[in-house]
């Protein structure tokens, strides 16, 4: 299994001070920035796009930016995000008409690629793409909003994805997104995750360093 990564979701940051907040969580020990793109069409909320990703790069954010696309259609926004400095681009299986093509497009643009699964989306979409993906993003809440409660059924699904990844023999990250906190991160890791998205559990704390350290502490036990 790969080393644990903590990925604060800037969905829960103060949008008026995005650059400052992204650099603050990185200085506090985060490994990457999770960038939630919502389009008020695939999901019932609206956030930010490639221009904001580019603005973070121009502000001086050097860490990986993990772009989680909750948009439909998927393909036409991919080149823009690659140019804007995305490191990884993931999209929801049901949002793309041609999953293999979308994955290929992401790779052609020089980014890591991955598929996202909603809590009730079956894993069979992975059957023929394990040789292409760099990451699987499992939603542990329904996408659209921060601050929701972790859906316990997801733990079983994490185990199933872990088995598929191990069987593939490839280095594929298993990222879990939604309702991750100090209280459940150890259990999520035990089920097989190696990358943890946390929005409200980090940004709602006054001390980011302490919030991230507490998560790492849980991961060590
Ligand atoms: C939900 C987003 C998540 C969200 C997580 O659609 O994909 O990344 O920001 O927020 P928390 O950690 O508060 O559940
Ligand atoms: Zn997300």
ipTM for the assembly: 0.98
How far is the centre of ligand 2, averaged over its atoms, from the C-alpha of 58 (Å)? 22
Q: SS3 for 73?
A: coil
pLDDT of residue 221: 82
Chain segment 162-182, per-residue pLDDT in tens: 999 999 999 999 999 999 999
Phi, psi of 126 (to 5 degrees): -80, -15
Pocket flag, ligand 1, residue 71 (CB < 6 Å): no
Strand partners for 176? 138, 196
How far is the centre of ligand 2, averaged over its atoms, from the C-alpha of 46 (Å)? 13
Pocket flag, ligand 1, residue 179 (CB < 6 Å): yes
Chain segment 180-207, per-residue pLDDT in tens: 999 999 999 999 999 999 999 999 999 9
To the nearest 10 degrees (0 to 180), the angle between helices 18-27 and 50-59 is 60
Query: Of 179, 107, 171, whose CA–CA distance to 143 is shortest?
Result: 179
How far is Cα 177 from Cα 150, in angstroms, rounded to an integer?
9
Q: What is the mean pLDDT of the chain?
A: 98
Pocket flag, ligand 1, residue 178 (CB < 6 Å): yes
Residue nearest to atom 1 of ligand 1 (CA): 143
How far is the centre of ligand 2, averaged over its atoms, from the C-alpha of 34 (Å)? 6
Chain segment 69-80, per-residue pLDDT in tens: 999 999 999 999
Query: What domains can you pick out in the chain, each with its CATH number?
Result: 5-220 (3.20.20.70)
pTM, two decimal places: 0.98
Residue 85: count other Cβ atoms within 10 Å of its Cβ.
Answer: 19
Pocket flag, ligand 1, residue 198 (CB < 6 Å): yes
Q: Does residue 1 surpass a pLDDT of 80? A: no
Pocket-testing residue among 197, 211, 215, ligand 1, by greatest number of atoms within 8 A of Cβ: 197
């Amino acid at each position: 299994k790969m080393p644990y990564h903590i990925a604060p979701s800037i969905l829960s940051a103060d949008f008026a001070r995005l650059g400052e907040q992204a650099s603050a969580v990185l200085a506090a020990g985060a490994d990457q920035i999770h960038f939630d793109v919502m389009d008020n069409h695939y999901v019932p909320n609206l956030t930010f796009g490639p221009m904001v990703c580019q603005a973070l790069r121009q502000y001086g954010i050097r860490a990986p930016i993990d772009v989680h696309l909750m948009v439909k259609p998927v393909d036409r926004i991919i080149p823009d995000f690659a140019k804007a400095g995305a490191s990884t681009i993931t999209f929801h299986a049901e949002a793309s008409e041609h999953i293999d093509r979308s994955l290929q497009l992401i790779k052609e643009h020089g980014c890591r690629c991955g598929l996202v699964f909603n809590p009730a989306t079956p894993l069979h979409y992975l059957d023929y793409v394990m040789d292409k993906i760099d990451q699987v993003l499992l939603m542990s809440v329904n996408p659209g909003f921060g601050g929701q409660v972790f859906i316990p059924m997801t733990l079983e699904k994490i185990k199933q994805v872990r088995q598929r990844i191990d069987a593939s023999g490839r280095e594929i990250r298993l990222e879990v997104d939604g309702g991750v906190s100090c209280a459940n991160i150890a259990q999520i890791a035990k089920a097989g995750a190696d990358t943890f998205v946390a929005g409200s559990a980090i940004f709602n704390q006054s001390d980011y360093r302490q919030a991230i350290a507490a998560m790492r502490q849980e991961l060590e036990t």
